[in-house]
Chains A and B, each alone.
Chain A
Amino acid sequence: MSPRYQNRIELLQGTLDLLVLQTLRWGPQHGYGISQAIRSNSGDILQVDTGSLYPALHRLERQKWITADWKVSENKQRVRVYRLTAKGNRQLESERSRWAQVSDAIAGVLNPAKKESEA
């Protein structure tokens, strides 16, 4: 096991889960599609590493937040398509609110004056 990959997962874990779940909210998608969607929706800023994406997808699947099926794509190719479950949807909600809290908190730290003036 390479420490490089392991470290990335740890680093991105919370955020990557959120991004994957959010992407699947628009509809079922295969792994490549998910990585492309995150990339284009972030304006090419977030590049999801494949070595993190697939372990994350399989972990989310094991936690029953997403399910996977084999489908045939437009290019007549067998692809594994992931779909958000009801449980995953609830998880997405809680992660979103947690993310909102974290980003508010970080914003507060970064701009203390503004926060004070608001208070």
Chain B
Amino acid sequence: MTFSFWRRQKRDSELDEELQSHLQMAAQDRTDRGEAPDEARDAARRELGNVGLIKEVTREMWGWASFERLMQDLRYGLRVLLKSPGFAAVAILTLALGIGANTALFSVVNGVLFNPLPYPHPEQLVWLAESKPNFVTGSISFPNFQDWQKSNQTFTSMGLSRGYSYNLTGLGEAEQLRARLISSGFFDVLGVSPAIGRSFALGEDAIGVAPIAMISGGLWKRKFGSSPEVVGKSLTLNGKAYTIVGVIPASFELSLGGFHDIDVYVPIGQWNNPLLPKRGAGLGFHGIGRLKPGVTIEQARADMQRVTGDLAAAFPDTDKGIGAGVFSLKQTMVKGTQTFLLVLLAAVGFVLLIACVNVANLMLARSMVRTREFAIRTAMGASKGRLLRQLLTESLLLAFTGGAIGLLLAGWGTKVAIAQLPVTLPRAAEIGLDMRVLLFTLLITLACGIFFGLGPALKSARPNLHDTLKEGGRGGSGSRHRAQGVFVVVEMAMALVLLIGAGLMIRSLSALWNVNPGFDSHNLLTFGVALPPSMNMSDPAAIRAALRQVNRELAAVPGVQAVSLSWGATPIVSDDEDLFWIEGKPKPTSDNEMSMALSYVVEESYLNVMRTPLERGRFFTPQDNENSAHVVVVDDSFAKEYFGGTDPIGQHIVLTNKGGRAEIVGVVAHVKQWGLDSDDKEKLHAQLYFPYMQLPDEAMALSWNGTGVMVRYDSKMPAVAESMSAAIKRISSEHVMTSTQTMDSIISDSLATQQVSLILLGAFAVLALGLASSGIYGVISYVVQQRTQEIGVRMALGAKKADVLRLVLGTGMAMAGIGVAFGLAAAIGLTHLMADLLFGVSATDPLTFILVAVLLTIVALAACYIPARRAMRVDPMIALRYE
């Protein structure tokens, strides 16, 4: 367009020059024939005729007339809009918000769900897990992983990792580092190369080789000032010196649980966990893999079925019944947010539709005002097509202005909004305005402009000349009423769908808040404590003493009511499992035949801290320590599952990793380990409590590095976390406190998706309700105004006020009723899409549907009542006088 604009300017001036030269030559000829120069020039000019007209006709030959007309329409449209700035501002603002919100949400959906992962050949990347009887995506043992790597035929490479934490000393104040234990080829699978140095070579992840590490770009900058000399330097982790071999680029992001803000990567073999070389150990490792080019996930699954089948045959003790789970890496990353995002995108799409309907309504109202203008233009010879084009140009002008502002809003607001959201989105760093988002914005803007422009334009473009030009004529009022009625029905229907969505979320959340988690989450703080690195390799007695000291110091802080160390599982936060069998039943021949329970390793004060009810028997006492016979407490799920009707107290179980035989001494209530919403969906429910001090020595040796602490505090206690931190530092400067959180905030975070859905859906629904009720109010007011005379006649003929009320409300209720019917039908079709977000309520919950329909009808009734009352007050005498 710009190009031809400049070309056109050039041709314009050339045409001018051409005609000037013609004029001069004609004048010259006349002078040559003897005419006086002045006369000659005048005569030539007369002969030439109207230069402006010649130019205009000639220009038409260039074939740019349509562009010319467009510019004319644009100029005219701009003038018209500037003449009614109020209307233009409302329309543009409505559209800017609608388009902006859609662009913002689409850029999120695009970045998270649509865009490929930012690694080479992302379609080849998969996520790996072991499928076990209790877990579909269980952890992979290191020996099994090594065999998978060796025996598969469909993968280019595989990597394994788990989270870990290290106590860093020797570089300023001691601090806890977030770490990943990884296998050698881990970064090669992703195609990520170190910024400097190298990654781990084959075999360097084996047990017993020299300690090496890679650090993150963040730690590199923070501790080494991004110096390239860092390679070869030593890093003291948990008191042991690791040689830095490489730096992972700061831009590296992997949106899998536990990969955020990692400081250091260490080869798996460096983990001094005695279970690491055991094939049956579930240590929280999960894998990634890269398929060979052209291999499908199904082929990889078949291949892995063969591999795990061979392993099960070779190691029936540990591998019987164990398979491999192969899942698309991208799907794994976005699984939790897909429904959430798509539901919000649909909701915000509805809001835009309502905004469009609203602007269409405004346009329609304005087109009535402009009827005379159109009639005059038609009378002057403007074709219907020309008028239509003019009106569409105006609506597109509105749409594109709104779209441009919306794009700016989205570009600026998306990052801000994501930062404010209490939901952690995967791949958040990849969200932005790319070509696809811009194209989306362009398309919805165009669609909006045509959608809200075409209806009113079609109506205006065929004005009834005779009626309109007659003074006081009311051309087209009936059809305006009909068109507005359609708009109101659409608004009602969409408002109903949004309200039902919000209503279902309210019911879900109230159901979730009413779920008893099995403990009292108020005034409950959880954090981690790591003992000084010098305690590494200390004898278990020293570690027990140090842990008891931590408990003592924390319990002595004023305002603290109870403290318990905790290892293993923490409700809602993290899980850990123990294998066992029940004494008296046949001893299982393999790990796979053993039973599994969630494992909580806690102190005697734990029930006071958590306020979990004791149902039978007793909980631990200080006498259940390293010197006494092992005891355990189970939850009622455990009791039901393994003992049915019989009393478990006094029975014995045998724990494979916790020192063998232990007596069951008590039963406590079940705790919602897997979260308020998903606990019922998980298979593993049995819970087992074990006294901390009875941990076997080899487990105790590991617990120096990061034990959990649960603290119940007085509700009036100030600065709880700071007091705890100060108490820890009082013990020694090398004690490190980590990840402090209140249980309330943990529960609240676990419901963040539902809460954000509710807030956004609720806001959209309220907006829709407001627009729909103002829409129905407008139409009914208009109808009443149009029918004042008729009402006056009716009343003069004896109609009662109630009849008039019934007449007006009937018109409104007919529209509302149709809207509600369409809305209910649409909601039944749409709400099942949000089933994943719901809890304790069905997607087509009749109660919600009925209540919301009734609510919407009442609001519509109220909106109609105001104009209806006006109609009742019509004085027949006054109304008839105007006839």
- A77 near B24 with CB under 8 A, answer yes
- Point out the residues of chain A lying under 8 angstroms from B21, CB to CB: 30, 32, 73, 77-80
Whether B61 sits at the interface, judged by CB under 8 Å, is yes
A62 partner, pick from B48, B49, B61, beta carbons under 8 A? B61
Give the shortest distance, in Å, between A83 (CB) and chain B (any CB). 15
Give the shortest distance, in Å, between B386 (CB) and chain A (any CB). 14
Also in contact, A2 and B53, with CB within 8 A (given A50-B48, A77-B21, A79-B21): yes
- Point out the residues of chain A lying under 8 angstroms from B880, CB to CB: none
Using an 8 Å CB-CB cutoff, how does the interface string of A85-114 with B read, 1 for contact, 0 for none?
A: 000000000000000000000000000000
**CB nearest to B25 among chain A residues:** A32
- A55 near B62 with CB under 8 A, answer no
Also in contact, A32 and B14, with CB within 8 A (given A5-B53, A50-B49, A54-B19): no
- B49 near A51 with CB under 8 A, answer yes
Within 8 A of B (CB), among A60-76: 62, 70, 73, 75
Tell me the bound Cα distance from A70 to B15 in angstroms: 11
Whether A115 sits at the interface, judged by CB under 8 Å, is no
Give the shortest distance, in Å, between A8 (CB) and chain B (any CB). 10
- B28 near A54 with CB under 8 A, answer no
**CB nearest to B21 among chain A residues:** A79
Main SS class of interface, B: helix
Whether B756 sits at the interface, judged by CB under 8 Å, is no
Whether B611 sits at the interface, judged by CB under 8 Å, is no
- Point out the residues of chain B lying under 8 angstroms from A31, CB to CB: 18, 22
- B47 near A50 with CB under 8 A, answer yes
Counted as pairs of residues, one from A and one from B, with CB atoms less than 8 Å apart, the total is: 71
Give the shortest distance, in Å, between A77 (CB) and chain B (any CB). 6
**CB nearest to B28 among chain A residues:** A75
**CB nearest to A52 among chain B residues:** B57
Whether B438 sits at the interface, judged by CB under 8 Å, is no
- Point out the residues of chain A lying under 8 angstroms from B62, CB to CB: 58, 62
Tell me the bound Cα distance from A31 to B47 in angstroms: 14
Using an 8 Å CB-CB cutoff, how does the interface string of B1-44 with A read, 1 for contact, 0 for none?
A: 00000000000001101110110111011000000000000000
Give the shortest distance, in Å, between A62 (CB) and chain B (any CB). 6
Whether A1 sits at the interface, judged by CB under 8 Å, is yes
Whether B50 sits at the interface, judged by CB under 8 Å, is yes
- Point out the residues of chain A lying under 8 angstroms from B25, CB to CB: 30, 32-33, 73, 75, 77, 79
- Point out the residues of chain A lying under 8 angstroms from B58, CB to CB: 54-55, 58
**CB nearest to A2 among chain B residues:** B53
**CB nearest to A6 among chain B residues:** B57
- A49 near B57 with CB under 8 A, answer no
- A32 near B22 with CB under 8 A, answer yes
Whether A9 sits at the interface, judged by CB under 8 Å, is yes
Interface size grouping (class) on chain A: 20 to 34
Also in contact, A55 and B61, with CB within 8 A (given A30-B21, A32-B26, A78-B21): yes
Tell me the bound Cα distance from A77 to B63 in angstroms: 29
Most-contacted residue by chain B among A9, A49, A50, A70 (CB, 10 A): A50
Whether B539 sits at the interface, judged by CB under 8 Å, is no
**CB nearest to A79 among chain B residues:** B21
Whether B878 sits at the interface, judged by CB under 8 Å, is no
**CB nearest to B48 among chain A residues:** A50
- Point out the residues of chain A lying under 8 angstroms from B24, CB to CB: 77
Tell me the bound Cα distance from A30 to B50 in angstroms: 20
Also in contact, A55 and B60, with CB within 8 A (given A50-B22, A50-B47, A50-B48): yes
Whether B376 sits at the interface, judged by CB under 8 Å, is no
- Point out the residues of chain A lying under 8 angstroms from B61, CB to CB: 55, 58-59, 62
Using an 8 Å CB-CB cutoff, how does the interface string of B50-94 with A read, 1 for contact, 0 for none?
A: 100110111011110000000000000000000000000000000
- A80 near B14 with CB under 8 A, answer yes
**CB nearest to B26 among chain A residues:** A32
Tell me the bound Cα distance from A55 to B18 in angstroms: 12
Give the shortest distance, in Å, between B20 (CB) and chain A (any CB). 9
- Point out the residues of chain B lying under 8 angstroms from A73, CB to CB: 21, 25
Also in contact, A51 and B60, with CB within 8 A (given A32-B22, A75-B28): no
- Point out the residues of chain A lying under 8 angstroms from B14, CB to CB: 70, 80
Give the shortest distance, in Å, between B32 (CB) and chain A (any CB). 11
Most-contacted residue by chain A among B47, B57, B60 (CB, 10 A): B57
- Point out the residues of chain B lying under 8 angstroms from A75, CB to CB: 25, 28
**CB nearest to A59 among chain B residues:** B61
Give the shortest distance, in Å, between A17 (CB) and chain B (any CB). 12
Tell me the bound Cα distance from A6 to B53 in angstroms: 10
Tell me the bound Cα distance from A54 to B49 in angstroms: 12
Tell me the bound Cα distance from A31 to B53 in angstroms: 17
Also in contact, A80 and B54, with CB within 8 A (given A1-B60, A50-B49): no
- A49 near B49 with CB under 8 A, answer yes
**CB nearest to A77 among chain B residues:** B21
Tell me the bound Cα distance from A51 to B430 in angstroms: 62
Tell me the bound Cα distance from A80 to B50 in angstroms: 20
- Point out the residues of chain B lying under 8 angstroms from A80, CB to CB: 14, 17-18, 21
- Point out the residues of chain B lying under 8 angstroms from A78, CB to CB: 17, 21
- Point out the residues of chain B lying under 8 angstroms from A70, CB to CB: 14
Tell me the bound Cα distance from A50 to B48 in angstroms: 6
- Point out the residues of chain A lying under 8 angstroms from B56, CB to CB: 1
**CB nearest to B52 among chain A residues:** A2
Tell me the bound Cα distance from A58 to B19 in angstroms: 13
- Point out the residues of chain B lying under 8 angstroms from A51, CB to CB: 49-50, 53-54, 57
- Point out the residues of chain A lying under 8 angstroms from B60, CB to CB: 1, 55
Give the shortest distance, in Å, between B50 (CB) and chain A (any CB). 7
- What are 13 A-to-B residue pairs whose CB atoms are below 8 Å? A1-B56, A1-B57, A2-B50, A5-B57, A32-B25, A32-B26, A54-B18, A54-B58, A58-B61, A73-B25, A75-B25, A80-B18, A80-B21
Among all A-B residue pairs, the 5 with the closest Cβ atoms: A58-B61, A32-B25, A59-B61, A32-B22, A80-B18
B binding-site residues for A, Cβ under 8 Å: 14-15, 17-19, 21-22, 24-26, 28-29, 47-50, 53-54, 56-58, 60-63
8 extra interface residue pairs, beta carbon distance < 8 Å, beyond A1-B56, A73-B25: A30-B22, A50-B19, A55-B57, A73-B21, A75-B25, A77-B24, A78-B21, A79-B18
